[in-house]
Structure 1
């Protein structure tokens, strides 16, 4: 018996890379899968593989950056399988560019897919899951959210995904919908675009897929609002942003008071310089 028996899930960007691995693994665990991708043939290929192995799958072709197309996979899941129990917001873009030579068109396209696409799909899934009594949404974040040089748009998008994950988790808790974010590391075309610290070739997408199937399953019924870092060998929770002690109080701060605070009480709480702390 598979941990996803009887469940129906949508996985975006599932024609290649991590999404493909998530779809195949979820199907092997018993889920019926809607395979979304902007490219038709890769999505149909994944559907054929799932069906060939005795599973259930359907394709939904379209860009999550378009609100109507983003809602289509959820509608397809409901009409094809009669329910939706899970959504994996995997579709994404990434590129490298120096801050002084970035392209507004590329910035917009990335934000529309990574942020708005996740929000469009998540909103549609949340409405259906709320009506259906619950479910699980898995968003794709990244440790790049702390700020990666030459990838400001990508870093900003993943910071937004992390924030929406926590916001949705709080809002949807009373409706039985869990929301978590994963920060995966795998050797994919997107990872190879990272010229600073590319993933190792042995960190293949199939080794990352179990964390997604776990989060879609009832095994993770007590887990929500978490950002989870998972590589081929390491698993840990990423802390949320929060205020750091000490919290200093003064009813009449002036510039010199603030300077003294930074030179004394706050000096040991300052974050390391970005070049020292950045990691994927």
Structure 2
């Protein structure tokens, strides 16, 4: 039987929309108190209000995780305001794709900052709290869930730097898993395929058109589908660690 999350606290980055928002709702339904971190404070407040109306506990933290101090402060505030930290979901990310030749280097920098450095900052700040939570009730286990992508497994033309950041997330996650799994901190990697979120809309118009053509005829995953997978990971009994989940739309081939 799956465990509930009553008495635990989760911090979710990129919680203002998409996978982060859906994960926060799923965790709250399982009894976790949730800290919602993202840059768009108004969206966070609306989500927190929805969780509270359903009887849950939520705090909002306006933060840009690419700033190390803000990332650390998000973790610090979570533990201070909610009393502990049992689960970190590193969900904040951007996907700015296109050919390497003549690419805007600022897009590369942004992906490295958000997809990799932001995740590393949050992971580093959270680890002492996760290790402490894994030694205490109610569950004696803690979780870090890092959101990667199918792009973290397979390099494809036009996705070079995005591929690089997501491959790095996978390598970091596996190395950290080996380091802390004996102390009952589970590190899990979730690799979604095409999901109906705001990621595509962050690209230049010509890139958005190409991405739309690539997935013509494919029914994309919904954010709630990925949240369901994350919820599955963190509600396993203490003895079960789900190290990696690759989840694609049924019709997606590559």
Normalised to the residue count of structure 1, the TM-score between the two structures is: 0.78
Give the Cα–Cα distance (whole angstroms) in 1 for the partners of residues 200 and 238 of structure 2.
Answer: 28
Spell out the pairing of 1:210-225 with structure 2 (5 A cutoff).
210-219=228-237, 221-224=239-242
Give the Cα–Cα distance (whole angstroms) in 2 for the partners of residues 230 and 220 of structure 1.
Answer: 23
Instruction: Tell me the CA shift for residue 75 of structure 1.
Output: 1.2
**Would you say the 8 A contact 1:191–1:198 is kept in 2?**
no
Spell out the pairing of 1:26-175 with structure 2 (5 A cutoff).
26-132=27-133, 133=135, 134-145=141-152, 146-175=154-183
Stretches of structure 1 lacking an aligned partner (at least 5 in a row): 235-277
Please give the secondary structure, in 1, of the residue aligned with 2:199: helix
Give the Cα–Cα distance (whole angstroms) in 2 for the partners of residues 220 and 184 of structure 1.
Answer: 25
**Would you say the 8 A contact 1:12–1:89 is kept in 2?**
yes
Deviates more, 1:7-16 or 1:76-85: 76-85
**Would you say the 8 A contact 2:173–2:189 is kept in 1?**
yes
Instruction: Tell me the CA shift for residue 218 of structure 1.
Output: 3.9
Correspondence for 1:187 among 172, 190, 196: 196
Partner of residue 13, structure 1: 14
Instruction: Tell me the CA shift for residue 96 of structure 1.
Output: 1.9
Higher RCO, Cα 8 Å, sep 6+: 2
Give the Cα–Cα distance (whole angstroms) in 2 for the partners of residues 199 and 139 of structure 1.
Answer: 29
Give the Cα–Cα distance (whole angstroms) in 2 for the partners of residues 200 and 99 of structure 1.
Answer: 26
**Would you say the 8 A contact 1:93–1:113 is kept in 2?**
yes
Please give the secondary structure, in 2, of the residue aligned with 1:189: coil
Give the Cα–Cα distance (whole angstroms) in 2 for the partners of residues 71 and 111 of structure 1.
Answer: 18
Give the Cα–Cα distance (whole angstroms) in 2 for the partners of residues 199 and 5 of structure 1.
Answer: 41
Deviates more, 1:98-107 or 1:6-15: 98-107
Q: Deviations over 1:35-56 (max 9, x none)?
A: 1111111111111110111100
Structure possessing the higher radius of gyration over alpha carbons = 1
Q: Deviations over 1:219-250 (max 9, x none)?
A: 364215x221124669xxxxxxxxxxxxxxxx
Q: How many residues align?
A: 235
Instruction: Tell me the CA shift for residue 101 of structure 1.
Output: 1.6
CA, structure 1 residues 138+221, in 2 after alignment: closer, same or farther (shift >3 Å)? farther
Give the Cα–Cα distance (whole angstroms) in 2 for the partners of residues 52 and 232 of structure 1.
Answer: 32
- The question of 1:209 aligning with 2:209 is answered no
Give the Cα–Cα distance (whole angstroms) in 2 for the partners of residues 199 and 21 of structure 1.
Answer: 25
Give the Cα–Cα distance (whole angstroms) in 2 for the partners of residues 161 and 213 of structure 1.
Answer: 20
Give the Cα–Cα distance (whole angstroms) in 2 for the partners of residues 120 and 221 of structure 1.
Answer: 28
Give the Cα–Cα distance (whole angstroms) in 2 for the partners of residues 198 and 209 of structure 1.
Answer: 24
Provide the aligned C-alpha RMSD in A: 2.2
Give the Cα–Cα distance (whole angstroms) in 1 for the partners of residues 85 and 147 of structure 2.
Answer: 19
